[in-house]
Amino acid sequence: MKILVIGGGGREHALVWKLRQSPRVTEIYCAPGNGGIADEAEGLPVDIKNLDSLVAVANRIQPDLTIVGPEVPLMLGVVDEFTIRGWRTFGPTQAAARLESSKSFAKQFLQRHHIPTAHYAICDSSPQVRDALPHFHTPIVVKADGLAAGKGVVIAKSKDEAATVANEMLSGRMLGEAGSRVVLEEFLQGDELSFLVVSDGERVAPLVAAQDHKRVGDGDTGPNTGGMGAYTTPTIIDAQMRDWLINHIARPVVAGMKAEGAEYKGVLYCGLMMTARGPMVLEFNCRFGDPETQPILMRLESDLVEAMEASIEGRTSDGDFKWSNDSSVCVVMASGGYPGIFEAGKKISGLDEVANLDGVKVFHAGTSKRDGSFFTSGGRVLGVTARAVDLKIAVQRAYEACSKITFDGAHYRKDIAARALKK
């Protein structure tokens, strides 16, 4: 079986790593891939923001199965284009991916289908922002409507700050077209939870839940990022809560999308806040999360190819996934300056030493390789991931590995999973 993975980050490295474990896979390609992925899959140059470029790559290799990693190709309709050409592709259509590509669509969808979420207002202009703000208590969450690589969310401490941020987004100066519409949202208190399911358009099969750490600094300080680390344990939620999330959030979303003529196949990522009022939806992603995919797939013991084929063929079931009772954690090592301006091209040392550590896998996110050495090429550089019989040991293993890896300007959070360990 010939497989194509679209994307070039840590999530895609984890997908390639897990897909290679299927006995059915004979060839695996990653477009465009990165320095680390190149050791496990053949990299193919591609512009993932250009449908013609993606079609040309697939036409050349004729994959038996394609997996779409990032959100931009989904928004452009890569699943629609590939399916028309007879290439089986795992992921939602362009219409279904609106759950992620438009936060205003997602909020209105949630309201239509009575799925719990925060109070909100949709604003297309500064006067609309001014009129909406009196209806909110501070702090206020300001979100860009479009895709912003995990950086389109600002928690404003005052109404003046919320107005300033919203107007910056609307002007295009802050996030370009992604901010041409904004969503003001009630600030929710609680623990965030990443709850992913695979759907075939009607049924859903849950993955193990995880918790992301979005802020750049320890103690959840500093600006939002694409994610600085994540962990998953068998006890992060109990079976009763898992079933509640399936029955009150995941299944109603899939049923609602089908009723609205946009059948949802692929991964549905429900970003939740576990509040005193119960779980509430913060956002949707229409693909595997990054960095949650790294620790989640470390615990997966069944064949990922089989589960993806079941989704495409309309036969998803609860038995599609088998999980280890271990815990796992991913710590993201980032370039100096990230999530702001950073320099690339820094040589990475210590990867050979870490390769021999028990229960540790380093997934490459922003790396390139030349003359046998790895160099930084992105903001998030590595996802240092470890698995162990309990979370404490997994965390120790991950941080031991981080301590052995160096590059100029490297930084990472020192408190991934710390709240869970305290509990």
Determine, yes or no, domain membership for 14.
Answer: yes
Please check whether residue 114 lies inside any domain of the structure.
Answer: no
Residue 373 sits in a domain of what CATH number? Answer: 3.90.600.10
For residue 131, the surrounding DSSP H or E stretch is helix 126-132
pLDDT digits (tens, 9 = 90+) for 369-381: 999 999 999 999 9
Identify the domain containing residue 281 by its residue range: 191-320
Residue 150, pLDDT > 70, answer no
Model pTM score: 0.95
Give mean pLDDT, residues 171-192: 91
Q: Looking at the structure, tell me whether residues 53 and 143 fall in a common domain.
A: no
Domain count, the chain: 4
Structure confidence at residue 115 as a pLDDT band (50, 70, 90): very high
Residue 174: per-residue pLDDT = 83
Check residue 344 and report its DSSP letter.
Answer: -
Indicate if 141 and 224 belong to the same structural domain: no
Asked whether residue 397 falls in the same domain as residue 384, the answer is: yes
**Domain boundary residue, one of 186, 210, 231:** 186
Per-residue model confidence as pLDDT tens digits over 30-47: 999 999 999 999 999 999
- Between CA 119 and CA 188 the distance in angstroms is 10
**How far, in Å, CA of 63 to CA of 294, rounded?**
24
* Whether the Cβ atoms of residue 198 and residue 204 lie closer than 8 Å to each other: yes
CATH code for position 242? 3.30.470.20
pLDDT at 141 over 80: yes
Tell whether 104 is covered by a domain: no
Give domain status of residue 99, yes or no.
no
Confidence check: pLDDT of 151 > 80: no
Q: What is the CATH number of the domain that holds 156?
A: 3.30.1490.20
Answer whether residue 394 is part of any domain: yes
Residues 298 and 195 in one domain: yes
Residue 108 domain-assigned (yes or no): no
Residue 390 lies in a domain: yes
Instruction: Give the strand order in the sheet containing 204-206.
Output: 204-206, 191-200, 265-275, 278-285
Let me know if residue 146 belongs to a domain: yes
The per-residue pLDDT for range 216-273, each reduced to its tens digit, is 999 999 988 999 999 999 999 999 999 999 999 999 999 999 999 999 999 999 999 9
* One domain for residues 165 and 201: no
> Is residue 149 over pLDDT 80?
no
